[in-house]
Amino acid sequence: MPILCAAAALTPLFKTTLELKLLKYLAAAGYTISCYFYSLTFKVFAMSQKPSQPLPSYLNPDNPGPWAVFLEQVDRVAPYLGDLADWVETLKHPERTLVVNIPVKMDDGSIEHFEGYRVQHNLSCGPGKGGVRFHQDVTLSETMALSAWMSIKTAVVGLPYGGAKGSVRIDPRNYSAAEMERVTRRYIEEIAPVIGVRQDIPGPDINASGQTMAWMMDSYSKKVGEHSPGIVTGKPIPLGGSLGRVEATGRGVFIIASEAARDANIDLKGARVCVQGFGNVGGTAGSLLHDAGAHVIAVQDHTGTIYNANGLDVPAVLEQVRNTGGVAGSANSETISNESFWSLECEILIPAALAGQINANNATSVQAKVIVEGANGPTTPDADDILKEKGIRVVPDVLANAGGVTVSYFEWVQNLSNFYWTEKEINERLGVIMREAYATLSATAHEHNVSLRTAAYIAACTRILNAAKLRY
């Protein structure tokens, strides 16, 4: 009898009906079950042990790729999560991972097959949100990491989304526009079972344009038999795209730069600003800072670095970029070496071009007071440590360039409600969200005496895990 009671009490621990039946049979037959308890104890002990490397079986443990970087970031932030640290394992496993084959007929009649992914990292706070990247080097590990960083980014600005990302292994330079259209449409058809206006909303990423998003929206709408503009963001305006989306990321960078300057007692009027990358993000941020009275003293892009100690004529530089594709040769500027750009004395430095630009080689010479990361991942972790020691405040990418995903969220909201806002309304709402997010991170950084980057991860992981815990 005591044996049967023990068996009943432990019932939830037995994983299979077969195990339970066997146990009841043994108990009823009066056999000793100590051996079973021994193996059970071992099993429970093994289950309670955290795996040292929670890598999914489909990643190579010897070369896990970018996903390992994300895991390390989560481990670093876990000590700050209080009771929620028990839930941190949730973040180390993408919620849903889809790998698809994309067979496409080429212009010459042959068939080529491409690998595509859609990863939904965590959907606790809402449907998935994240761009689709078309690049020959994308991997599943990279897509997983990018989806996880979308979870962090959307949570940092408090959007009701989870993190997702998609990609297709293709070098678009080798294919015609018609072939890219067929690849895009087939990709959407293949991932259609896991996306939806309230499930997962793709957007553009590398090598995806407004036209790409229009094809995606059209293919999905035809598949489900109804006009579905809310299935993707980054659409052209006639298809339900949002006003202000093109400038949103640069505008967000400007808003955050203004907040960070105020925190550091820097008057924006007359503040010296250096910008790397003068495309969509850097050009917009530089232009808005110029309008606010800052002096953009140096700009670097793929064509070189231009400088004017009294401030460049930003509208003229933008005109030069429009006309020639780069900043080199802009009026009223001198050319300086690309290396010297990083050691210029300035109040605000905005890397808005490529990843890994501020690294162990140049971080020691940086003389900015504040760095606002317009690009994704422009500062390497070792450079981060150097900058921290130098007392330079770095506003991380997950906040600084979140203006883009914030206005994508506005686009989606407008699509769902079929009611469209003015550009003024969009910019004002963007300002409210960005400023609130900056204030939250600033307070978190202050509370834990950590960098804004660590604060961003603390705030984001707390938000996601709180939601996950409430739903469990």
Active-site residues, by number, are: 165
Judged by beta carbon, residue 196 or residue 431, the one nearer ligand NAD is 431
- Those residues with Cβ within 8 angstroms of residue 404's Cβ, 6 or more apart along the chain or in another chain: 245, 248, 249, 252
**Other C-beta atoms within 10 Å of 332: how many?**
12
As given in the structure block, the two tokens for residue 100 are: 């698809």
* Least distance CB 249 / ligand NAD (angstroms): 4
Specify the residue, 100 or 396, whose C-beta has the smaller distance to ligand NAD.
Answer: 396
| E-only strand ranges, 222-341 | 272-276, 295-301, 304-307, 334-336
Distance CA 278, CA 286 (A): 8
Please report how close the Cβ of residue 59 comes to ligand NAD at its closest, in angstroms.
24
CB of 309 to ligand NAD, least distance (A): 21
- CB-nearer residue toward ligand NAD: 5 or 316: 316
Q: Which two tokens stand for residue 252?
A: 């967000």
| Cβ closest to ligand NAD, residue 352 vs residue 467 | 352
User: Residue 274 Cβ, how far from ligand NAD at the closest point, in Å?
Assistant: 12
User: Pairing between strand 162-168 and 272-276?
Assistant: unpaired
Look-up of token digits 């503009």: 229
> Looking up tokens 């339970």, which residue turns up?
20
Q: Spell out the residues 6+ positions from residue 122 whose beta carbon is closer than 8 angstroms to its own.
A: 90, 91, 94, 95, 148, 151, 162, 163, 464, 468
Q: What is the per-residue DSSP string for 53-105?
A: S---TTS-TT--THHHHHHHHHHHHGGGSGGGGGGGGGGGS-SEEEEEEEEEE
Which residues contribute to the site for ligand NAD (CB under 6 A)?
Answer: 249, 276-282, 300-302, 326, 352-354, 374-376, 401, 404
CA distance 215 to 464: 32
DSSP-derived secondary structure letter, 241: P
Cβ at position 234, least distance to ligand NAD in Å: 8
Minimum CB distance to ligand NAD smaller for 281 or for 455: 281
Q: Token pair for residue 103?
A: 């067979």
Q: Amino acid letter at 125? A: C
- Using Cβ positions, the residue closest to ligand NAD within the complex turns out to be 279
Minimum distance between the CB of residue 444 and ligand NAD, rounded to whole angstroms?
Answer: 22
| Of residues 353 and 456, the one with the C-beta less far from ligand NAD | 353
